[in-house]
Structure 1
């Protein structure tokens, strides 16, 4: 039976095949926002962290853990909240946190507080900047999927050019620049993102958390292999970070700029729907090469290794941004949660890489040097093994397509036959008595909150029943379930 349907994907982004054929390849606002946030990462690692950690490796790991908690906070808030998060108001709050964090950092440095106190003063900066990253990801979700990696790669490449041009200014006031860059990103994209999400939220009377209950395929869980893959490969980025500004590193910055420009050009020209997987393989090859060559004794090979790790990590960063933004476009209701969870996983991996990169090296101690080399080899082998075995059958492109747009459920017209059809399908597919009750409610278009109240069960119990019902009926959304009931005429 034909039915006019309205989906969030229709409101925000058409199906991938249609969107790839047109639309903007580069969005100037999003490109500038990505550039600002990428540059803030360079300022963070080159100037802010070294000044705050006093060379203590535990402080660097603690800063990474702080960002992990900040992203986890936004993910949990967006998922648990009964309404869609107000992007504009939270962006104002984030800007205030960034200003407060910058003042706290400057004051803490002025009075010479120890590293532990500097870490506490850094918390507002982490919370504000992490929100800016999420909002930039939401902004990217508004452009055509083929344009997302182009815009991100161009933005990251531009950040290297900006770093080369602005080094004197950054060196003079690193904390102020670090706080202003996320503010710039928010100023560019927060308002249009808020307007778009208000329009989308008006289509729904159900909260994102309730939509996740009846549409599990639209909301990737934190245990999804996509997030595990992001965490593992970001270990390379953490390992490749060189904390502290290096005036002689301009050659590597230029090389990275050229490499990112080539990535952007390739993404703009290719028509491959599996372009995300191509980026994944490229970054993986660069990272594995960089790990194996990282303990070279000559400066030239060591520099090549560092460059390969850096370009590989930045290529994977482009892939991460693009994948999460396209997933957010396919299901805007879960966009903030998906973006924040993905970047949380990224920070988990990067922090682990920082810990590995801080493994002590002693040129005079052969045993210590061998231990470091063994640790690096084990990480490289783990990466290869995970791609070869753990990711067998996994595809970034398939992971994106696996996130189904949430449909506004069009419940069937009330009729006596629907009860008989539900009973027939429940028996045919082996549903339990309780699952049959939940199934009948889902078939009538009821949401998760109604099911919990009607059946007097907890949210987790309702979630389990719904998951089992979908598995047994081989459906992925509530609308597919309703269509199945309507198509079953044998019991009518």
Structure 2
């Protein structure tokens, strides 16, 4: 029988009631490979993107070329808003209530958009319409991402790729209907996604006791920051997608939808069959090669090679879109308390990148006689930056490792019942051995006694960010990732001393 004070003998479970399997990213074999609700939600949201880029935004862009970039920024801001709201709260965001608010925002936004279109898109109507639609749609995407967290990692890949494939099928079958009812369907598709996922997501998150606002202080390794390399990589890839929109990679012809649709079906089939533990990295490399190839071919002067470039960019962008959904959803599964924040940050980076790509594309496609050279220069610079970052800046980077690097939040077991003096003495020895500063030593002792972030801030009279910085440095110097590992290390020091 294990010793009650032996760290290895203590049961562990993720804080907030999430299952151990969901936190580690290795669900049990009994868990489904494909979730029908999540599949439908991804398909609906992907189809709404086609409606947006194909039918909703072009009339607005024709009247105001800058409007597309403004809409992209508004959409990115909506994701940032949800991420910030979730991160600052001590309790998880209420899924059901906010889903109802999102549906109301989508309905109001659609009504305003219809009115704005009838009046020539005046800013006084178009701006609030975009804001409402962006907030509602962003929340629907976050909830859809959370609905994927119940699947095994391979199942997330199959479900997302399958959902995007179905959106292409729906586009080919219903293109005329989508064009005729674009504003209404643009709002209804996210509502449909919420209708099938909000209930199960709310039920699965009902047991979460804490939001990331409190947990992030003592678990910095569980909550990737906005400038994490995963999010930077997402941003950079989406620049290519934004460029592909401006350079004509649209769905104007049936084959323009059939080719990437078939590619996504192939991705879903491969994901369903493969047993590779590096699936995410394989998709990353394929999408990178396709995007680079598309960049190099996009300056072609013939229609045939121009179409090849467009399809390469489209398939590469959609493959990476699948990877983005998968990476963010698995991160959310590993750390349920920070799921909304991770999804919001990741999709914010995605939309910021796409917006930058649109702006670059607009700047290089003017009617100036030098437009061809400018376009070629922009493509060359973006391709150079892309290749340089992927093969040099991301040297050693792995999507799979980045996902696994997000440490599940553990519920902290109370330290062994020992005197405060004994704990502090051991902490002092460890602090000297690992080069902790005086202030870090103070915070270390509080962490070893099981104190939370709020207590540390008050006791040491420091801000939340300062406390997070100290704790991050302490973990790095001690070679631990969570507060529980730190407590185990201190208790191990006691055993070593006794020996």
> Shared fold (TM-score greater than 0.5)?
yes
**Deviation sequence 1:370-411 (CA, Å, 0-9, x none):** 121111011111111111110011100000110010000002
Asked if 1:301 is matched to 2:305, the reply is yes
- Is the Cα–Cα contact under 8 Å of residues 97 and 124 in structure 1 kept in the other structure? yes
Distance 1:207 1:431 in 2: 29
Question: 1:361: how far off?
Answer: 3.5
Question: 1:161: how far off?
Answer: 0.6
Distance 2:67 2:22 in 1: 45
**Deviation sequence 1:340-391 (CA, Å, 0-9, x none):** 00000000110011112223446882x3211211110111111111111100
- Is the Cα–Cα contact under 8 Å of residues 113 and 125 in structure 2 kept in the other structure? no
Distance 1:218 1:375 in 2: 38
Asked if 1:279 is matched to 2:283, the reply is yes
Q: Residues 334 and 70 (structure 1 numbering): CA distance in 2 closer, same or farther, change over 3 Å?
A: same
Other structure's SS at 2:301 match: coil
**Deviation sequence 1:25-77 (CA, Å, 0-9, x none):** 21111111000000000000011111223253211111100111101101100
- Is the Cα–Cα contact under 8 Å of residues 52 and 119 in structure 1 kept in the other structure? no
Equivalent residue pairs, number: 487
Asked if 1:414 is matched to 2:417, the reply is yes
Matches within 5 A, 1:185-264: 185-199=193-207, 201=208, 204=209, 206-241=210-245, 248-264=252-268
Q: Residues 10 and 181 (structure 1 numbering): CA distance in 2 closer, same or farther, change over 3 Å?
A: closer
Other structure's SS at 2:436 match: coil
Other structure's SS at 1:125 match: helix
Q: Mind listing any 5+ residue stretches in structure 1 that lack a counterpart?
A: none
- Is the Cα–Cα contact under 8 Å of residues 217 and 476 in structure 1 kept in the other structure? yes
Asked if 1:140 is matched to 2:148, the reply is yes
Question: 1:20: how far off?
Answer: 7.5
CA RMSD of aligned residues (A): 2.0
Q: Residues 384 and 274 (structure 1 numbering): CA distance in 2 closer, same or farther, change over 3 Å?
A: same
Question: 1:119: how far off?
Answer: 2.9
Other structure's SS at 2:451 match: coil
Other structure's SS at 1:141 match: helix
- Is the Cα–Cα contact under 8 Å of residues 49 and 243 in structure 1 kept in the other structure? no
Asked if 1:3 is matched to 2:10, the reply is yes
In structure 2, the partner of 1:445 is 450
Matches within 5 A, 1:4-83: 4-8=11-15, 11=19, 13-14=21-22, 18-19=26-27, 21=29, 23-83=31-91
- Is the Cα–Cα contact under 8 Å of residues 295 and 309 in structure 2 kept in the other structure? yes
When normalised by structure 2's length, the TM-score is 0.94
**Deviation sequence 1:123-179 (CA, Å, 0-9, x none):** 100000000000000001111111001100000011001011111211211100000
In structure 1, the partner of 2:187 is 179
In structure 2, the partner of 1:375 is 378
Q: Residues 429 and 247 (structure 1 numbering): CA distance in 2 closer, same or farther, change over 3 Å?
A: closer
Matches within 5 A, 1:66-145: 66-115=74-123, 117-145=125-153
- Is the Cα–Cα contact under 8 Å of residues 24 and 408 in structure 2 kept in the other structure? no
Question: 1:337: how far off?
Answer: 0.3
- Is the Cα–Cα contact under 8 Å of residues 421 and 488 in structure 1 kept in the other structure? yes
In structure 2, the partner of 1:159 is 167
Distance 1:107 1:87 in 2: 30
Q: Mind listing any 5+ residue stretches in structure 2 that lack a counterpart?
A: 1-5
Distance 1:476 1:324 in 2: 20
Distance 2:414 2:87 in 1: 25
- Is the Cα–Cα contact under 8 Å of residues 137 and 190 in structure 2 kept in the other structure? yes
Distance 2:30 2:220 in 1: 30
Q: Residues 194 and 259 (structure 1 numbering): CA distance in 2 closer, same or farther, change over 3 Å?
A: same
Q: Residues 374 and 116 (structure 1 numbering): CA distance in 2 closer, same or farther, change over 3 Å?
A: farther
Other structure's SS at 2:150 match: coil
Asked if 1:346 is matched to 2:350, the reply is yes
